[in-house]
Structure 1
Amino acid sequence: MKITGEKLMKAFEHSVVEYVEHEFIASFLQMSGFRVVFDVALKPGSRVLSVEIRNSQNLYEKLNLQKVYNVVTSEWLMKNGDGFTMFKDCEAKYLQIPILDALTNHIKKSKVLNPSPVHEGRITVHNVFPLKKGVPPLHDNN
């Protein structure tokens, strides 16, 4: 879809509007090609501190609110899934292929798959609530 940086920013804000004690409630946006910094101590609607987007040279640049970007997303999100209403008026080209098939085809074509985990720094969260004593984190990497 074609989407402005302003609408992308709204999507990231919506993504963390319901952050409660170490948990993003339902609508946390799963993404690739972005670096986003949130501060959950700030009031909802102003929690996104910065957004960078990876460009065609594989370098990150600051999100430009006036620029129009091409991004790939699911039809479900395009149709207001999880309350992402900012996508509804975006120009979209629907692929006639399921997402899993598109991913499989991409892997076969590129012939490169690195199964080693890589920390890309996609998501940084500031002012996370302290864990209650004896309560394990919700996002355990085991």
Structure 2
Amino acid sequence: MSRDIDYGKLMHAAMRGLIKTVLADVARDGLPGAHHFFITFDTGAPGVEIADWLADRYPDEMTIVMQHWFENLDVGDDGFSITLNFGDSPEPLYVPYDAIKTFVDPSVEFGLRLESTSDEDDLEDELDALPELDDDEEDLPPQRDAEVVSLDKFRK
């Protein structure tokens, strides 16, 4: 039985778990200090719930900011709901964790970029296209000795 470790899937699950934990802490205790979040998500992803006018305005992706005013932050197992202010109009949103593309906290220069499933498929295709390596040294290209270059000739 041959089975591979799906590192990409495991990493995405860990990153989404991190986002869930951070949002749960904020839901419970509020935003600490200068922390604030920019969350970009795929508006067409399954499970996303946004007002029709927002979906029309942002047909592909949308970035929300959690900073000065937000309410009703509810963090669930599969996503979070929140009410944000758009031009003095409160709008409820629901964002599944799987729809999140980026999560950034600029106050501490922290950011995550989550690849979409199609990006993961492209990466898998690229990895599959790489030549198989054997342990047989005949198949390996000849190794060259390292070359030391003096930078003195480039100095003025």
Same fold (TM over 0.5): no
Please state which structure has a larger fraction of its residues in strand.
2
Please state which structure has a larger fraction of its residues in helix.
2
Which protein has the larger Cα radius of gyration, Structure 1 or Structure 2?
2
Q: Scaled by the length of structure 1, what TM-score is found?
A: 0.23
Between 1 and 2, higher relative CO (CA 8 Å, sep ≥ 6) is seen in 1
Q: Scaled by the length of structure 2, what TM-score is found?
A: 0.21
